[in-house]
């Protein structure tokens, strides 16, 4: 690889700092007592404790998945602290009441929360070390009957709704990490859009991992009732640490008849240093259920961080004529490993799905797309279109595509396209010969490559994503 390319992809993580907020951390280790402690701390109803214990018992009998194309040392689950929360403070009604230290953290991240919320009309539900410390715009949303709060709060305020839907899309024993999450999740977001309501603004959550070695087990549940629609944004970034941090979130989406849920993520967690030391392990289960007819669930993700990403936002298309979409950009650099993709499970008639995946590998990283398209015998007239493109920067990195296609209905149509391209020295030289430096050239090529996905993001998120990819690849070109 030319030195220009090498310099370009070797640049330190710009968001490496630790916020100094006192944490209330549970002792390390996992057993039934830990789970009872979490549940008690959170003042949970009996059924939820049972939910957790059932998950824990299933988890004990499960094994870590070995099939992803990623390598990492064995995780010691007894060395993790499963609960950490900022010191309890009085209830917050506005951003003014938020710890200024936290606000400064957001400043450093270039996401001035208050400004951002006001400018973009975004309601920001801040998850800070597993506990929500601020919720804005709640009143306005409440006026139209939308519930947008932390899941702990939802458990207290709307236990019926939570009990009705929690674990219905991702069952407690779905997979190793989902079971773990179900046992020990501490917080996350809850969102309920009642019948016929179009959410008047994008809902946004900034996740942030803060306390060293505190595993993060976020739980998100979004429900759109008949004819409801919502666009939900999730953005992440983490401070720099030397020890690996496990993150195993579960996100469940439920769309009833004619409902529409759009879920967008920009993820920029610490990926480790150039040798891959210290990055986040991101093992996430995200799944949406198109339960009703004509419902639609659309996942858009821009994955740029984490040492290891293991993530397959999926759609179960149960309602007739329902639509599932997955638009993804996954960028890996240095020693990062990503095994990501989607599952589209077609059960209903005339269900349709679209998959657009763009993988970008640089440095010594490894980037795999893994996708399943399954057409059940009941899914007459189902259609899928998949497009998986890989781009290589330099010659030390890898890209793989693992498409799994199972068609059990003869009337279904499934189309798969794949391509691999490379940013070569000759392309960069062409730009240079027109006066354009390597950084700008790479950023232009990458943005062109990702255009189909960026178009799916809400406007201000698209701008952020474009900058982020630039940051991840630009740097010290001398």
Partner 1 sequence: MIDQDSKVLLEVRGLRATVNGIEILKGIDLAVSSGEIHAIMGPNGSGKSTFAKVLAGHPAYQVTDGTVFFEGRNLLELAPEARARLGVFLGFQYPIEIPGVANSQFLRLAYNTVQTERGKDELDPLEFDDFVREKMKLLEMNPDFLDRSVNEGFSGGEKKRNEILQMALLEPKIGILDETDSGLDIDALRIVASGVNRLASKDNAIVLITHYQRLLNYITPDYVHVMDAGRIIRTGGKELALELETRGYDWVSAEYKQTATRATA
The token pair at 157 is 């305020």
In the set 145, 429, 460, 475, which binds partner 1 (CB under 8 A)?
Answer: 429
- DSSP-derived letter for residue 184 is H
Q: Does 440 bind partner 1 (CB under 8 A)?
A: yes
Rounded to a whole number of angstroms, the minimum distance from the CB of residue 463 to partner 1 is 16
Comparing CB distances to partner 1, the nearer of 314 and 443 is 443
In the set 88, 100, 160, 448, which binds partner 1 (CB under 8 A)?
Answer: 448
Q: Does 470 bind partner 1 (CB under 8 A)?
A: no
In the set 194, 398, 437, 470, which binds partner 1 (CB under 8 A)?
Answer: 437
Q: Does 454 bind partner 1 (CB under 8 A)?
A: no
**Among the residue ranges 130-138, 243-251, 288-296, 434-442, the one whose residues contact partner 1 (CB under 8 A):** 434-442
Rounded to a whole number of angstroms, the minimum distance from the CB of residue 393 to partner 1 is 14
**Among the residue ranges 37-45, 327-335, 427-435, 457-465, the one whose residues contact partner 1 (CB under 8 A):** 427-435
Comparing CB distances to partner 1, the nearer of 242 and 426 is 426
In contact, 367 and 375? CB cutoff 8 Å: no
Comparing CB distances to partner 1, the nearer of 4 and 123 is 4
Q: Going along 167-307, which residue ranges are E strands?
A: 189-193, 203-208, 219-224, 229-237, 245-247, 250-255, 260-268, 280-290, 296-303
Question: If we measure between CA atoms, which residue out of 435, 436, 451, 447 comes closest to residue 472?
Answer: 447
In contact, 328 and 342? CB cutoff 8 Å: yes
Of residues 387-426, those binding partner 1 (CB under 8 A): 421, 424-426
Comparing CB distances to partner 1, the nearer of 168 and 421 is 421
The token pair at 192 is 């309920």
Max Cα separation, the chain? 69
In the set 449, 453, 468, 474, which binds partner 1 (CB under 8 A)?
Answer: 449
The token pair at 304 is 């740029």
Comparing CB distances to partner 1, the nearer of 413 and 455 is 455
Comparing CB distances to partner 1, the nearer of 16 and 424 is 424
In the set 427, 466, 470, 471, which binds partner 1 (CB under 8 A)?
Answer: 427
Q: Does 2 bind partner 1 (CB under 8 A)?
A: yes
In the set 17, 47, 404, 430, which binds partner 1 (CB under 8 A)?
Answer: 430
Q: Does 455 bind partner 1 (CB under 8 A)?
A: no
152-165: string of b/e by CB count within 10 Å (b at 16+)? bbbbeeeeebbeeb
In the set 71, 89, 451, 467, which binds partner 1 (CB under 8 A)?
Answer: 451
* SS3 state of residue 429: helix
Comparing CB distances to partner 1, the nearer of 149 and 441 is 441
- In angstroms, rounded to a whole number, what is the distance separating the alpha carbons of residues 423 and 368? 18
In contact, 204 and 236? CB cutoff 8 Å: no
Of residues 257-296, those binding partner 1 (CB under 8 A): none
The token pair at 248 is 């195993």
The token pair at 397 is 């990195």
Rounded to a whole number of angstroms, the minimum distance from the CB of residue 449 to partner 1 is 5
Of residues 166-225, those binding partner 1 (CB under 8 A): none
In contact, 272 and 278? CB cutoff 8 Å: yes
Radius of gyration of the chain (CA): 22
Comparing CB distances to partner 1, the nearer of 173 and 424 is 424
Question: If we measure between CA atoms, which residue out of 126, 311, 83 comes closest to residue 213?
Answer: 83
The answer to whether the Cα torsion of 21, 26, 30, 32 is positive or negative is negative
Rounded to a whole number of angstroms, the minimum distance from the CB of residue 443 to partner 1 is 10
In the set 253, 445, 453, 465, which binds partner 1 (CB under 8 A)?
Answer: 445
User: How is the chain split among helix, strand and coil, in percent rounded to 5?
Assistant: 25, 35, 40
- In angstroms, rounded to a whole number, what is the distance separating the alpha carbons of residues 233 and 345? 24
- Residue ranges in contact with partner 1 by CB under 8 A: 2, 4, 421, 424-427, 429-437, 440, 444-445, 447-449, 451
């Amino acid at each position: 690889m030319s030195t220009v390319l090498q310099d370009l992809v070797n640049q330190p993580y710009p968001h490496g700092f630790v916020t100094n907020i006192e944490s209330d951390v549970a002792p390390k280790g996992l057993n039934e007592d830990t789970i009872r402690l979490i549940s008690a701390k959170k003042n949970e109803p009996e059924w939820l404790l049972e939910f957790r214990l059932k998950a824990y018992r299933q988890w004990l009998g499960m094994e870590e998945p070995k099939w992803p194309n990623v390598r990492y040392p064995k995780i010691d689950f007894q060395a993790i602290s499963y609960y950490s929360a900022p010191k309890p403070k009085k209830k917050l009604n506005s951003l003014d009441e938020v710890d200024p230290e936290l606000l400064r953290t957001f400043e450093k991240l270039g996401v001035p929360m208050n400004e951002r919320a006001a400018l973009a009309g975004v309601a920001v539900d801040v998850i800070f070390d597993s506990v929500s410390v601020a919720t804005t715009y709640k009143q306005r949303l409440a006026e139209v009957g939308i519930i947008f709060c932390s899941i702990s709060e939802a458990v207290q305020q709307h236990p019926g709704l939570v009990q009705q839907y929690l674990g219905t899309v991702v069952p407690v024993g779905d997979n190793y990490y989902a079971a773990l999450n179900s046992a020990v999740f501490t917080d996350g977001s809850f969102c309920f859009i009642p019948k016929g309501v179009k959410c008047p603004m994008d809902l946004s959550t900034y996740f942030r991992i803060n306390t060293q070695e505190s595993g993060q087990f976020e739980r998100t549940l979004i429900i759109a009732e008949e004819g409801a629609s919502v666009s939900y944004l999730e953005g992440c970034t983490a401070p720099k640490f030397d020890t690996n941090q496990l993150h195993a979130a579960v996100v469940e989406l439920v769309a009833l008849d004619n409902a529409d849920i759009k879920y967008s993520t920009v993820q920029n967690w610490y990926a480790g240093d150039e040798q891959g030391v210290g990055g986040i392990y991101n093992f996430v289960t995200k799944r949406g259920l198109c339960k009703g007819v004509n419902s639609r669930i659309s996942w858009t993700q821009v994955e740029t961080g984490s040492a290891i990403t293991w993530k397959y936002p999926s759609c179960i298309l149960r309602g007739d004529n329902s639509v599932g979409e997955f638009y993804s950009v996954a960028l890996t650099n240095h020693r990062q490993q990503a095994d990501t993709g989607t599952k589209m499970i077609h059960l209903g008639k005339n269900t349709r799905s679209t998959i657009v995946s763009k993988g970008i590998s640089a440095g010594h990283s490894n980037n795999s797309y893994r996708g399943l398209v399954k057409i059940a015998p009941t899914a007459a007239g189902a259609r899928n279109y998949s497009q998986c493109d890989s781009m290589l920067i330099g010659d030390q990195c890898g890209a793989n595509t693992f498409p799994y296609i199972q068609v059990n209905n003869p009337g279904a149509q499934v189309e798969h396209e794949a391509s691999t391209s490379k940013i070569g020295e000759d392309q960069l030289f062409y730009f240079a010969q027109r006066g354009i430096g390597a950084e700008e050239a790479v950023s232009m090529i990458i943005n062109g490559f990702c255009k189909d996905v960026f178009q799916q993001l809400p406007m201000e998120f698209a701008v952020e994503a474009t900058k982020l990819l630039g940051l991840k690849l630009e740097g010290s070109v001398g």
